[in-house]
């Protein structure tokens, strides 16, 4: 059996900031939830946030592997890893949601951590660009 070797590509500084902000947003949501919501909701936020952040990291690793292979192999890798990731996340979310110890609304809030971060980062980066600010004037 042939092992796939993934070369280490240095992370972009923006990607590193996004990863750090993901954890910061999750921590903030958990702290606010702990102060104002039931434990089941907070646990849902934690589990949903962890699934979201792990999925983001998993996508990064998959794409890193794709760019280190030839085109024919890359398409197969992308599709196979996509379906594996989808199946794993579906199973994890199934057990999280069907377990009566977590609030489903908290899980959905936790799952939104990466999306909120990407939207805010895109908005901030766009607004901070010199050309964009000149167009607004």
Domain boundaries, given as residue ranges, for the chain:
16-136
Backbone CA torsion sign across 74, 75, 81, 82: positive
pLDDT at 131: 60
The alpha carbon torsion through 120, 29, 16, 117 (nearest 10 deg) reads -20
pLDDT at 4: 47
Kindly give the confidence (pLDDT) of every residue in the chain, 137 residues in length, as a single tens digit, with 9 standing for 90 and above: 444 454 555 677 888 888 999 999 999 999 999 999 999 999 999 999 999 999 998 888 777 766 666 666 667 777 787 888 889 989 988 888 887 888 899 999 999 999 999 999 888 888 777 665 566 55
**How many CB atoms lie under 10 A from the CB of residue 94?**
10
Rounded CA-CA distance 113/101 in Å is 21
């Amino acid at each position: 059996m042939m092992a796939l070797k993934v070369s280490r590509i240095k992370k972009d500084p923006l990607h590193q900031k996004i990863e750090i902000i993901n954890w910061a947003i999750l921590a903030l949501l958990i702290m606010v939830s702990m102060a104002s919501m039931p434990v089941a909701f907070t646990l849902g936020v934690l589990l949903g946030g962890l699934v979201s952040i792990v999925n983001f990291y998993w996508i990064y690793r998959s794409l890193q592997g794709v760019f280190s292979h030839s085109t024919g192999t890359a398409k197969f890798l992308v599709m196979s890893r996509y379906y594996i990731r989808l199946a794993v996340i579906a199973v994890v979310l199934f057990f999280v949601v069907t377990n009566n110890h977590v609030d489903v609304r908290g899980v959905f809030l936790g799952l939104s951590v990466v999306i909120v971060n990407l939207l805010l980062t895109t908005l901030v980066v766009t607004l901070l660009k010199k050309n964009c600010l000149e167009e607004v004037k």
